[in-house]
Amino acid sequence: MSQKVIITCAVTGGNVAVLAKHPNIPKTPWQIADAALEAAKAGAAVVHIHVRDPDTGLPSNRFELYEQVVKRLRDASTDVIINLTCGMDGELVLDSVDPIKIGTATTLKNPMGRCLHTVKLQPELSSLDCGTMAFGEQIFVARMSDLRELAKLMREAGVKPELECFDLGHIETAKKLISEHIIEAPPIFQFCLGTPNGAPAVPVALQAMRELLPSAAVWGGFGCGADEMPMVEQLVALGGHVRVGLEDNIYLRRGVLATNAELVNNAVGIIERMGASVATPVEARAILGVEKRG
């Protein structure tokens, strides 16, 4: 039997700069849900969902927006696996360090505030970012106490965490959660490569991260920008699953803006030309160890 590869489509993300570059980036709950359905039809077994303010397109973490997207997906009777981000409302901005002054751009909330939508809507998966990182002048906060509480809230809601790792140390943090039996088997790892201040999207970094994984881990990853499709090939070659979508890259090729479905179609072509096959949602659930929700 050929290798089964799960394709995740990250539909819109929370990047602000992309709004000026891609006029058709999904913004409203309806647009986000429709883009997710199109990606599923193209071959994505999982859709990774952020939401945006419908009027401005700015990133949002409002419960009612997630609720509308999830309702639309479930009403469509799609079999696609829903993965809601829990990577929002975790940013700390310091206007000054002497004296310490927290900036008004800070979004940082407690763990329940960051994952309320996941607790209430109960998707199959939700992302859990496993490391504190600086993005320019913003600091994404992921203390061990935060991660433990977020993972506990997900587990109590019947939601499986997708362990987002941007660097080698994040894998060690995730393994600590696993050793404490907060994360249920099999653990699901997502390597996030080519982001600012994270591991680069190069083979040596991918190989190093792969070698640090615990046994029986399910894993995949993605590359950002021009690294998106080359990373699909590298991930499949090492036995991993893949993620594509407008959250990570807005171009089909140089100068040509993409849709989510087109990026999924590209990934399908790469996977099949390598002799592997694309996992259906039913097959993906078996691999990930999750049951259909909703």
Residue bearing the bigger pLDDT, 107 or 293: 107
Taking CA 225 as the corner, what is the angle to CA 223 and CA 228, rounded to the nearest 5 degrees? 40
CB proximity list for 99: less than 8 A, separation 6 or greater:
none
| CA 235/CA 243 separation, integer angstroms | 10
**What number is the average pLDDT over the span 171-192?**
97
Tell me if 257 sits within 8 A of 246, measured CB to CB: no
- pLDDT single digits (tens) 222-243: 999 999 999 999 999 999 999 9
Q: What is the pLDDT of residue 135?
A: 87
Pick from 110, 178, 121: nearest CA to 150:
110
pLDDT at 51: 98
CA separation for the pair 279, 188 (Å, rounded): 16
Partners of 242 in beta bridges: 7, 221
DSSP code string of 157-225: TT-EEEEEESSHHHHHHHHHHHHTT-SPSSPEEEEEES-TTS--SSHHHHHHHHHTSPTT-EEEEEE-G
Q: Say if residue 1's pLDDT is above 60.
A: no
Does residue 125 have a pLDDT over 60? yes
Residue 293 has what pLDDT?
86
Whether 158 shows a pLDDT value over 90: the answer reads yes
Mean pLDDT within 57-80: 96
Structure tokens at 285: 């659930």
pLDDT(151) > 60: yes
Q: Say whether 79 sits in a helix, a strand or coil.
A: coil
Helix (H) / strand (E) element for 7: namely strand 7-10
Q: Which of 86, 71, 83 is nearest to 7 (CA)?
A: 83
pLDDT above 80 (res 294): no
Instruction: Name the residue ranges covered by the structural domains of the chain.
Output: 4-288
Place of tokens 């602000």: 16
The DSSP 8-state label assigned to residue 102 in this structure reads E
User: What is the rounded average pLDDT of the residues 188-211?
Assistant: 96
What's the pLDDT score for residue 2? 82
CATH number for the segment(s) 4-288 = 3.20.20.70
What pLDDT does 187 receive?
98
Determine the average pLDDT of the residues in 79-94: 97
Global pTM reads 0.97
User: Who wins on pLDDT, 213 or 294?
Assistant: 213
Written as six digits, the tokens of 252 are: 């089909």
Q: According to the 3-state scheme, what is the secondary structure of 110-152?
A: CHHHHHHHHHHHCCCEEEEECCCEEECCEEECCCHHHHHHHHH
- Say if residue 245's pLDDT is above 70: yes
